[in-house]
Amino acid sequence: MPLSRQDPPATTPHPVPADVPQPLLERPETRPAGPRRFLRDIAPPYLSNGAIGLVFTASGPVAVTLAVGTAGGLNQDQLASWVFGILFSGGAATLIMSLLYRQPLGFAWSIPGTVLLGPSLQHLSFAEVVGTFFTAGLLILALGATGMVRRIMAMIPMPLVMAMVAAVFLRFGTDIVSSSQANPAIAGPMVGAFLFLTAVPALGRFLPPVLGTLLAGGVAVAVSGQFVAGVPGPLLAVPVFTPPAFSWAAQLELVVPLALTVLFVQNGQGIAVLRAAGHRPPINVFAVVSGAFSVLNAGFGAVSACVTGPTNALLTSSGTRERQYTAAVVYGSLAVVCALLAPTLTRLMLATPTEFVLVLGGIAMLRALQQAFVTAFAGTFTMGSLVTFVVTVSGLNLFNIHAAFWGLVIGCAASRLLERPDYAGS
């Protein structure tokens, strides 16, 4: 989207030379953003990006959480507590980190981690699963505090990481096509609004294309009569503490997959997206904060916290780099409010057609998907990137660990074997 007239041109950050030692926990490079700075930097595009990030996070991902929890036998109070925990921790972590570092550092929860819980809840008690949440959170925190995470991430070429991101984000693009075929009455106006506002920059300055897509979709849902209100329920969330149970079977089955999913799948995506947008995310601090808030989540019976790739892609989808942190502040503030209204929010989002959420998320992710492909295949390490992309898209699942992790492992191995000149020149 074109920048507004008052936006200064974006600049590219200068990388820190390799021979300059970096602190174990990365410090902010600028002063934290205060109220005056925030009010000066906020603008309609950032309000739009933050709101879209919240709509995306609180719709499809919440639906996945509810589906897994319901299939695992959780009651309504436990589900509401889970949704409260993941929204509250994601919002609070985003607010703290984005204001402190003055970067759009969006947190949420591990969707791959949530999915891998499905089979486990069929033979483990919920108390045992909660016990693994506590252990995984402590493990993530400890690994971040040692500085190991940043060293490992530095060993992986950026094109391979972005190939993994492209593979994960690919479904958002294909969802636009499938949803347009399944429900043209909803998808058609949304796609048309996005194309029109993007093709006419003068209008796009006043109404961001993604926000226009959201408004067009809302009108289409209302006019078509496809908003289906569910059974009334409680307004506010009431957190429930589930006493954890620690068993070797549960710990061996879930702790390592949960930790790897957070550190190298979810956080890895978020780091890659933020770097591609010109930011310098604090990798070790990400791990420490993810671990700390994962422990907090466990107290609510909720899955691990993490940095989120898709949401960060939405938060950085337009505007200037120096002001994009305001979108994260909007997202974090709305997430905390929605955490308190978790039962109401869940009913509201699930009352809209699935295609509305899929098209909105897909359109909002198009620029991030484009950037991921360009970074992955425009220069060096192209064979390793291709292997990473193919393995991740294949859905390979070994030892309950997400395909994105195996894509990076196998892609790095293939790249080291086949692309030695690229490593020599890097």
With helix as H, strand as E and coil as C, how does the chain read?
A: CCCCCCCCCCCCCCCCCCCCCCCCCCCCCCCCCCHHHHHHHCCHHHHHHHHHHHHHHCCHHHHHHHHHHHHCCCCHHHHHHHHHHHHHHHHHHHHHHHHHHCCCCCEEECHHHHHHHHHHCCCCCHHHHHHHHHHHHHHHHHHHHHCHHHHHHHCCCHHHHHHHHHHHHHHHHHHHHHHHHHCHHHHHHHHHHHHHHHHCHHHHCCCCHHHHHHHHHHHHHHHHCCCCCCCCCCCCCCCCCCCCCCCHHHHHHHHHHHHHHHHHHHHHHHHHHHHHCCCCCCHHHHHHHHHHHHHHHHHCCCCCEEECHHHHHHHCCCCCHHHCHHHHHHHHHHHHHHHHCHHHHHHHHHCCCHHHHHHHHHHHHHHHHHHHHHHHHCCCCHHHHHHHHHHHHHCCCECCECHHHHHHHHHHHHHHHHCHHHHHHC
pLDDT of residue 230: 61
If you average pLDDT over each of 10-14, 53-57, 287-291, 353-357, which comes out highest?
Answer: 287-291
Average per-residue pLDDT in the chain? 84
Judged against a pLDDT cut of 70, whether residue 28 lies above it is answered with yes
pLDDT category, 425, cuts 50, 70, 90? Answer: low
Judged against a pLDDT cut of 60, whether residue 169 lies above it is answered with yes
pLDDT of residue 10: 39
pLDDT of residue 21: 59
pLDDT category, 140, cuts 50, 70, 90? Answer: very high
pLDDT category, 121, cuts 50, 70, 90? Answer: confident
Q: Mean pLDDT throughout 253-275?
A: 86
Judged against a pLDDT cut of 80, whether residue 222 lies above it is answered with yes
Which has more confidence, 373 or 229? 373
Which has more confidence, 3 or 311? 311
Q: Mean pLDDT throughout 246-256?
A: 87
Judged against a pLDDT cut of 50, whether residue 151 lies above it is answered with yes
* Least confident range of 14-23, 120-129, 239-248: 14-23
| % residues pLDDT > 90 (the chain) | 36
Judged against a pLDDT cut of 80, whether residue 235 lies above it is answered with no
Q: Mean pLDDT throughout 266-278?
A: 89
pLDDT of residue 32: 92
Instruction: Give the global pTM.
Output: 0.75
If you average pLDDT over each of 64-68, 120-124, 140-144, which comes out highest?
Answer: 140-144
pLDDT of residue 1: 37
pLDDT of residue 226: 80
Q: What angle do CA 364, 369, 375 make, to 5 degrees?
A: 145
| % residues pLDDT > 70 (the chain) | 91
pLDDT category, 170, cuts 50, 70, 90? Answer: confident
pLDDT category, 22, cuts 50, 70, 90? Answer: low
pLDDT of residue 13: 42
Judged against a pLDDT cut of 80, whether residue 199 lies above it is answered with yes
- Integer CA distances (angstroms), 100 to 26, 105, 284, 329, 332, in order: 12, 10, 15, 11, 13
pLDDT digits (tens, 9 = 90+) for 65-111: 777 887 788 887 888 889 899 999 999 999 999 999 999 999 998 87
pLDDT of residue 282: 93
* Least confident range of 151-160, 333-342, 355-364, 410-419: 355-364
Which has more confidence, 324 or 164? 324
